[in-house]
Amino acid sequence: MFGEKALELIREFNRNKDGNLGPYNEDGVRQVLEEMQVLYEANQNDVAQLVQDTSDQTSLTAVQIRHDSLQRNKRCLLAYLYNRLAKIRSLRWEFGSVLPPDIKNNMSEKEVQWFTRYNRSLANYMRSLGPGGLDLTQDLQPPQNVYIEVRCVEDRGELELNDGSKVLLKKNSLHYLPRSQCEHLIRQGVLKHIT
């Protein structure tokens, strides 16, 4: 049946639905496009015949079936690409502007380009808010205190704070830091919030 390869792409995405981004299936996408090319050419031939000889309508059904298959393949491809992009967009909010290399390896060249552009748009937008810009990825929950207590989970070297003082982030060390400066590190799993 037509459309099987496209469905395989969708199944593959669905298996990875809750996990991280799976590798971009370039081969699968190419195969679907090839199938579409074949369908399109076959339809062109049949339609040309239909126009020439209007008495013979028997190939009409075949044209319809191929046309539906083309539409279906298109839908599957678009859904595959769109849902991957949606996932990549949410990664920006989870990991920050720099993605871990193994995730980046799973993206296609165009997806990397898109990610860079999305980053830039987001940064420009955040800069345009208010007098000094506003970091939207900050304070996803309403903050209670200015300072919070954190424990370091991994060695991260020195962290320079806004006031110029430096903190050494060593494994299992405890710190009392401004919330605004360590929220990102907590989300990235470098620090742990202690209450």
* Shortest reach from residue 109's CB to other proteins, in Å: 22
Q: How many residues bind other proteins (CB under 8 A)?
A: 50
Span 32-61, contacts to other proteins by CB under 8 A: 58-61
- Nearer to other proteins by Cβ, of 93 and 125: the residue is 93
AA letter at 71: Q
CB of 182 to other proteins, least distance (A): 8
Q: Is 92 in the site for other proteins (CB under 8 A)?
A: no
- Produce one character per residue of 58-88: b if its CB has 16 or more CB atoms within 10 Å, e if not: ebeeebeebeebbeebeebbeebbeebeebb
Query: Minimal distance in Å, beta carbon 120 to other proteins?
Result: 19
Among 79, 112, 122, 167, binds other proteins (CB under 8 A): 79
10 by Cβ neighbours in 10 Å (0-12 / 13-18 / 19+) ranks as: middle
CA pair distance 51, 113, nearest whole angstrom: 44
By beta-carbon proximity to other proteins, the closer residue of 33 and 103 is: 103
Position of tokens 């013979």? 56
Q: Does position 166 bind other proteins by CB under 8 A?
A: no
